[in-house]
Amino acid sequence: MTTAVPDPIPPHKNFDTILVLDFGSQYSHLITRRLREFNVYCEMLPCTQKLSELEWIPKGVILSGGPYSVYADDAPHVDPAVFELDVPILGICYGMQEIAWHFGKNVLAGEKREYGHAYLKVDRHGDGVTGGHVDKLFAGLEDDMEVWMSHGDKLSHLPGDFITVATTSNAPFAGIAHQSKTLYGIQFHPEVTHTPQGKVLLKNFAIGICRAKANWTMEKFVHQEISRIRALVGEKGQVIGAVSGGVDSTVAAKLMKEAIGDRFHAVMVDNGVLRMNEAKQVKETLTKGLGINLTVIDASERFLAGLKGIKDDPEKKRKVIGNTFIEVFQETAKKIASEASSDKAGEIEWLLQGTLYPDVIESISFKGPSATIKTHHNVGGLPKDMKLKLIEPLRELFKDEVRELGTELGIPEELVWRHPFPGPGIAIRILGEVTPEQVRIAREADVIFIEEIKAAGLYRKISQAFAALLPVKAVGVMGDNRVHAQVIALRAVETSDFMTADWYPFDGAFLKKVSRRIVNEVDGVCRVVYDITSKPPGTIEME
Ligand code: GLN
């Protein structure tokens, strides 16, 4: 059992914050990301958020797009109190239609959908009627700009007191603004990269119009986060958490260390299917390098014994590894707790989790008028009968921000930019049965592949790369002898969000070199193949 605890000093109390109210568009999270890219803090909440229940005042509000039609009976609508907040509001697509509907009930279905690129013509109004505020949204932008559209509904006419600020050949109301209040609507999507100048427009809104301070930097966040952790945990509180050597858990652990020193207990479980020398390296970096109070438990034999005999059931592999992990973590936690409580501090009552903002967004994004909003449970691998309170210091951060934070905390670059590695480790990169011999082969091949990728300067370009071991044997000739040995499959993908991915187009000379080295240096391998499947239909991992 874990419980969430009220937060003493959330970032929206420390940083000027723009609130994105989400109507369920697939792009909503991008609005948040874009704003943060120019250092304005931004949080997303579902469009159903009651303003009276919001404990902070945003500097401005953005209403996102969404798949519904504002005029439909069951269409979602914002709490009308948002229009009384007296802060600037920008509606994007559905969000603009929502503004128009609120002020004039003037939205209807268009004759045809408009999807894709469009050319926007900006209407400047100067200082005349409006005192100049309407032009601020397009400040510094060209009068003609390329934008991305995705809508089927349209405004039939302007609501009272609004004026047109942009048009396209197909959309007479591509941009609207209130004459005197800072209310804006745009039919296109500035948050997607297909609107090349979209970021400038969002910046104009957040900084130029809302006057939000662009002070969301990891340097500032570190100090505030450390005080926040201290306030939450108290003077004696102790925290336990698993580390894997990946960037998220390392950054979270280092932050805990900075905040509460040795009252944070990191546990690393060596499950026997980590990368080559990983347990040793992680121990070095975390203890000697970063000063983290770490216990490493070598449970390789226990894991490998559990995996024995599982031949073609990847789910079972994952389960065995997951369950064994919980057992080992729990045993270790009990031991650490009994030792820890006997000396200086209090009981261990906190569990560190490396939850990131995309998980939070996923749990709060608007799923439809009738969907109930589920709270997020990132409980994979949590001991059930330990009564622990959750501490999630990265829950406001996107992955790139975690990396920045890692750099800020002095974590070595190599670790900060490390490719993701699955919890079940190379067990799911060894297709078929996992045996110590198969682990050896997969590890050795992987080391060579990654070494060559780094030597070619491609490691940061590629999002994830590894060598997998196929459960088949092929014939080869090595040193005049006929051999019957195994096949290594190389996989390397590029992706920005890991939802879709494409294989990396290495040049032939590179592949030739890797193949030659693996066949020569790894005993038991006589062939190397390269996986040229994108995701979808493939997944990044092979099992
Ligand atoms: N459903 C609305 C329309 O089709 C809004 C679409 C959107 O927000 N992308 O016009």
Q: Give the CATH number for residue 140.
A: 3.40.50.880
- Give the nearest ligand 1 atom to 92 CA: 8
Confidence (pLDDT) at 378: 41
Domain CATH for 248 = 3.40.50.620
- pLDDT band of residue 477 (cuts 50, 70, 90) is confident
**Residue 444 annotated in active site:** no
Cα-based angle 190, 194, 197 (whole degrees, multiple of 5): 50
Q: Is 100 in the pocket of ligand 1 (CB under 6 A)?
A: no
ipTM: 0.93
pLDDT tens per residue, range 160-180:
999 999 999 989 999 999 999
443 and 406 in a common domain: no
Average pLDDT over residues 117-121: 95
- pLDDT band of residue 87 (cuts 50, 70, 90) is very high
42 and 176 in a common domain: yes
5: in domain:
no
230 and 127 in a common domain: no
Looking at ligand 1, which residue's alpha carbon is closest to its atom 6? Answer: 151
Domain span holding position 184: 11-209
Q: Which residues contact 294 (CB under 8 A, 6 or more apart)?
A: 243, 266, 267, 268, 283, 286, 287
Average pLDDT over residues 305-334: 93
CB contact burial 256-279 (16+ within 10 A = b; e otherwise): bbbbbeebbbbbbbbbbbbbbebb
Domain end, chosen from 209, 241, 260, is at 209
541: in domain:
no
377: in domain:
yes
236 and 205 in a common domain: no
Q: How far is the CA of 356 from the centre of ligand 1 (A)?
A: 28
Domain total for the chain? 3
pLDDT for 8 beyond 80: no
261 and 150 in a common domain: no
Q: Is 204 in the pocket of ligand 1 (CB under 6 A)?
A: no
**Residue 265 annotated in active site:** no
380 and 445 in a common domain: no
Average pLDDT over residues 329-342: 83
Q: Is 463 in the pocket of ligand 1 (CB under 6 A)?
A: no
- What would the two tokens of residue 174 be? 């591509």
pLDDT for 380 beyond 60: no
116 annotated to a ligand binding site: no
Confidence (pLDDT) at 358: 86
245 annotated to a ligand binding site: yes
Confidence (pLDDT) at 371: 54
Q: Is 425 in the pocket of ligand 1 (CB under 6 A)?
A: no
Q: Which one of 43, 98, 191, 404 is the catalytic residue?
A: 191
150 annotated to a ligand binding site: no
Cα-based angle 422, 423, 424 (whole degrees, multiple of 5): 90
Burial of 222 (0-12, 13-18, 19+ CB in 10 A): middle
248 and 313 in a common domain: yes
Q: How far is the CA of 211 from the centre of ligand 1 (A)?
A: 28
pLDDT for 226 beyond 70: yes
267 and 123 in a common domain: no
Quote the pTM value.
Answer: 0.88
- pLDDT > 90: what percent of the chain? 81
